[in-house]
Chain A
Amino acid sequence: MGKEIKTVKDIPLQELLLPGHVACAGCGMAISVRHVLKILGGNTVVTVPACCLSVIQGLFPKTAVAVPLKNVPFASAAAVASGLKAGFRLQGKELNVVAIAGDGGTYDIGLQALSGAVERGEDIIYFCYDNQAYMNTGIQRSGATPYGAWTTTTPKGKKERRKDLGLMMIANGATYVATVNPSFPMDFYGKFLKAEEKKGPRVLIGYSVCPPGWRYTPELSIELGKLAVQTGAWILWEFEEGVFRFTGYSKRLAEGKAKRKPIELYLEPQGRFRNVLRDPEKLKALKRGINERWRVYRKIAEVYSSSTPG
């Protein structure tokens, strides 16, 4: 991207996600993808499996995405990205190859292709916009749906906890792993700019609100992203060269410089958590799950506090 981005005013005006696209009003994925394309720029090729983004870009004969983009079978975003990168390398072309997929296409259906690409050390960026269910087909639960959340296939709330993709990617040996959230613009840009400069498999996992799927009014899209981090439900962190770091507000929480806000503030605006709010046992279990996640991440930060000696 070239020039340094210190404030929102430094962000280039060029848009590669064109207006008049088909995403719902207030869609978090559209916010993230718009900025990912701005950061990576025109010298980028994208692979997208079935998901809401494939609809944004796929209304033949028009597309809202102004860079070359290939629709690929559900399980194969990382595999096709690996192949494209290899092809460009043979042709002597230096391009960013990025796979962008939903949580269903990442945590579940595309997981083996992704873990294989990371294991082989493929030189690709993988961005999972995590809206925590299979939204495009009508809100079915995925491996990323959080405990207690309503979906059409978990009418009383999901019984299981969410998978942890970030830890899987660290364990698989990705060059760079980070969580992002568009409610925190500079954290978001900082991490993608860093990812762009690195080589090897880079995996970014994006908190991604979905007004119809999460059952809330769209004007709260950015507010919810802030609350997710402030209550500790979403943790901002990055992992590079053997070092794990909390970032932004999550770092303040981890260092005890700020206190987690009550989780109810995050749950209440979202209809998907109605079952949890009505049932003190479920609420307790949900809080326990968040505490447990923080406990694990604090340990991880300790273990990976400096580069492993060679």
Chain B
Amino acid sequence: MSKLKTIKEYPLIPASKPSEGAAGRTGLWRTFRPVVNLDKCIGCRLCWFYCPDNAITISGDGKVEINYDWCKGCLICFHECPVKAIDRVVEEFG
């Protein structure tokens, strides 16, 4: 939606549209970055279940993948992985 300039341009019923990134690129909030080590991953999907930001996706072959556009770096996935397949590194946005 483009910027609204006058009150008359506002819709009569202000309904918001479902969109990814409603709060912007929340990946920029990270101080730590979780990194999945797929060699260790057993595909249990617990990290995917617990992620509050729905920033972990499951690819066609069942592998988990972190979407760094949205991951806020809460590190729940790092803490909960039963086989310690997720590492934590300092985020440098490189």
Instruction: List the interface of chain A (C-beta within 8 A of B).
Output: 8-9, 11, 13, 15, 17-28, 30-31, 34-35, 56-66, 182, 185, 211, 218-223
Contact = CB atoms under 8 A, between A and B. Distances in A.
B22 A64 contact: yes
B23 interface: yes
Interface in B6-34: 14, 16-26, 29
Contacts of B16: 57-63
B18 A64 contact: yes
Contacts of B26: 19-22
Interface in B67-90: 67, 69-70, 72-76, 78-80
A23 B1 CA distance: 22
Contacts, number: 121
Contacts of A59: 16, 22-23
Contacts of B54: 15, 17-19, 34
A64 B75 contact: no
Interface string B52-66: 111101100000000
Contacts of A30: 52-53
Nearest to B62: A9
Given A18-B22, A21-B26, A61-B16, A11 B76 contact: no
B49 interface: yes
Contacts of B57: 13
Contacts of A222: 50, 76, 79-80
Interface of B: 1, 14, 16-26, 29, 44-46, 48-55, 57-58, 67, 69-70, 72-76, 78-80
A266 B58 CA distance: 32
10 contacts: A19-B55, A20-B70, A26-B74, A35-B49, A57-B16, A59-B22, A59-B23, A63-B17, A221-B50, A222-B80
A18 B76 contact: no
Contacts of B24: 20
A23 B52 contact: yes
A62 B26 CA distance: 14
A219 B76 contact: yes
Contact of B22 (A20, A220, A221): A20
Given A20-B25, A21-B22, A62-B19, A27 B52 contact: yes
A20 B68 CA distance: 10
Contacts of A220: 79
A25 B72 contact: yes
Given A17-B54, A34-B52, A221 B45 contact: no
Given A9-B45, A13-B58, A62 B52 contact: no
B22 A63 contact: yes
A-B CB proximity, top 3 nearest: A20-B21, A219-B75, A26-B74
Given A61-B16, A62-B16, A22 B79 contact: no
Contact of B50 (A63, A182, A211): A182
B20 A31 contact: no
Contacts of A19: 20-21, 26, 53-55, 67, 69-70
B17 A26 contact: no
A27 B29 CA distance: 14
